[in-house]
């Protein structure tokens, strides 16, 4: 079971106190430094596996150490993102499902039916896209971050108390989304009552029936026991969970060229590892869930059943363009062109 809210508040307070004293003693100095890296997930979940690879590479190739702060030790995503923005920690994993509230263009990742479903094309898109690695990287710079990398974490599924085959089935369902406005708009368009919440509140809210649905990749549905408090899983093919590894920009700009290259090399290695690590992860998680709860309902929407969700997605696109303006349009056009290039390069 994930941390309940009382335990969570206690841990958060302890975490911030411990975190503050740790931070006071570990300011970066010339030579060997301690780099602090906070996550939105546990150490054995995808973000933790990536961060561990990054840490191992940095520590094997320099005198620096990387201290990882998993979810719950320094607060919710909004807290850790702010700590990195102000330079109290050096690295953070911050997902557009939250940071889309800060940088409107990032909501392109939250738009349904934009990212390719083919995992090879998806991995190549993140690797090679100038829109991600130049245009969006510049938007992160505007907010005091250096974008180290972005990567996909797995196909997003809905988990609900009742089966979902059509938008009508979401009528009256309080559906938890991360806090970006485009996710709210998506579930409005899908026919639900969207409820933006930080992660730490989701399990309790499902248990208390304050919400009746949420979306996440399968590995997370399994690792956080979401299947204990929901009874149906729906694969609608509408998105893949994206995250970003960010560094504090002033910290990054102050690194030697050698250390900047170290960060890039560690992140490239961790990227390839995490893409490989995810092969079969969705299926494994589903098997584990069905073993623990054999009567869990699983629905894979057919193309025909997906059609009304795809139609609803058009309205979400329009809201995105109203919100992010011309630069949102450029990012969306850039995504479409970069996805096409990734498709062509994988097909060769
Ligand atoms: O739903 C969430 O809020 C969380 N989901 C994942 C897969 N990672 C972190 C995030 O906080």
Q: What is the pLDDT of residues 310-323, one digit of tens each?
A: 999 999 999 999 99
Residues 285-296 have a mean pLDDT of 98
- In this prediction, residue 6 carries a pLDDT of 33
Phi/psi zone of residue 29: left (φ > 0), alpha (ψ -120 to 50 degrees), beta?
beta
Structure tokens at 149: 């990398």
pLDDT of 29 above 80: no
Cβ of 240 less than 6 Å from ligand 1: no
CB-ligand 1 contact for 95 (6 Å cutoff)? yes
User: Is the C-beta atom of 241 inside 6 A of ligand 1?
Assistant: yes
270-274 LR contacts (CB < 8 Å, sep 24+): 270/50, 270/51, 270/53, 270/54, 270/57, 270/149, 271/50, 271/126, 271/127, 271/149, 271/151, 273/49, 273/50, 273/53, 274/46, 274/49, 274/50, 274/53, 274/151
| Beta strands in 210-326, from DSSP E residues, in sequence order | 213-217, 232-235, 240-248, 297-300
pLDDT of residue 30: 58
Distance 62 CA to ligand 1 centre (A): 31
Separation of alpha carbons 224 and 102, rounded Å:
27
Q: Which atom of ligand 1 is nearest to the CA of 220?
A: 7
Query: What size, in residues, is the chain?
Result: 348
Residue nearest to atom 4 of ligand 1 (CA): 199
- Window from 11-20, 96-105, 227-236, 245-254 with minimum mean pLDDT: 11-20
Q: What is the DSSP string of 86-132?
A: HTSSSEEEE-HHHHTTTSGGGGGGGSTT-S-SSHHHHHHHHHH-HII
Distance CA 205, CA 229 (A): 9
Best residue among 2, 72, 97 to mutate for probing ligand 1's pocket (most ligand atoms within 8 Å of CB) is 97
Residue 3 reports pLDDT greater than 90: no
Nearest residue to 149 via CA among 244, 269, 57: 244
Domains along the chain with CATH numbers: 14-153+242-282 (3.40.190.170), 157-238+284-321 (3.40.190.170)
45 pLDDT band, cuts 50/70/90, is very high
Span 15-42, mean pLDDT?
A: 66
Q: What is the pLDDT of residue 71?
A: 98
Chain segment 107-143, per-residue pLDDT in tens: 999 999 999 999 999 999 999 999 999 999 999 999 9
Local structure of residue 294 (DSSP, 8 states): T
Q: Is 220 exposed, middle or buried (0-12, 13-18, 19+ CB in 10 A)?
A: buried
Rounded to two decimals, the pTM is: 0.92
Across the chain, mean pLDDT equals 93
pLDDT at position 291: 98
CB of 185 closer than 6 angstroms to any ligand 1 atom = no
* Long-range CB contacts for residues 9-16, cutoff 8 Å, separation at least 24: 11/72, 11/73, 12/72, 12/75, 12/76, 12/79, 12/200, 15/69, 15/72, 15/73, 15/74, 15/75, 16/74, 16/75, 16/79
How many Cα atoms sit within 13 Å of 308 on the Cβ side?
A: 13
Question: Cα-flanking dihedrals φ and ψ of residue 37, to 5°?
Answer: -135, 110
């Amino acid at each position: 079971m994930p941390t309940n809210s009382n335990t969570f508040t206690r841990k958060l307070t302890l975490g911030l106190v411990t975190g503050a004293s740790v931070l006071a003693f570990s300011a970066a100095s010339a030579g060997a430094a301690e780099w602090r890296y906070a996550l939105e997930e546990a150490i054995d979940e995808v973000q933790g596996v990536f961060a561990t690879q990054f840490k191992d590479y940095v520590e094997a190739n320099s005198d620096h150490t990387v201290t990882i702060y998993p979810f719950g030790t320094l607060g919710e995503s909004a807290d850790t993102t702010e700590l990195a923005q102000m330079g109290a920690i050096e690295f953070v994993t911050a997902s557009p499902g939250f940071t889309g509230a800060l940088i409107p263009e990032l909501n392109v990742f939250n738009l349904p039916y934009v990212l390719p479903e083919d995992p090879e094309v998806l991995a190549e898109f993140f690797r090679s896209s100038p829109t991600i690695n130049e245009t969006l990287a510049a938007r992160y710079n505007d907010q005091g971050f250096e974008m180290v990398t972005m990567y996909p974490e797995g196909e997003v599924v809905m988990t609900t108390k009742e089966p979902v085959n059509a938008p009508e089935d979401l009528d009256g369902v309080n559906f938890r989304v991360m806090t970006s406005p485009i996710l709210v708009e998506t579930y409005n368009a899908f026919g639900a009552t969207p409820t933006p919440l930080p992660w730490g509140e989701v399990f309790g809210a499902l248990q208390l029936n304050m919400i009746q649905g949420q979306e996440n990749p399968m590995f997370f549905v399994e690792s956080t026991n979401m299947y204990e408090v929901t009874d149906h899983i729906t694969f609608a093919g509408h998105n893949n969970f994206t995250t970003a590894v960010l560094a504090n920009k002033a910290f990054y700009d102050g690194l030697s060229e050698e250390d900047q290259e170290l960060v890039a090399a560690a992140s490239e290695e961790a990227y390839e590892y995490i893409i490989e690590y995810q092969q079969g992860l969705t299926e494994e998680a589903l098997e584990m869930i069905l073993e623990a709860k054999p009567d869990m309902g699983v629905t894979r929407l057919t193309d025909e059943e997906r059609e009304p969700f795809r139609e609803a997605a058009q309205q979400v696109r329009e809201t995105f363009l109203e919100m992010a303006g011309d630069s949102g349009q450029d990012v969306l056009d850039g995504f479409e062109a970069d996805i096409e290039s990734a498709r062509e390069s994988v097909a060769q």
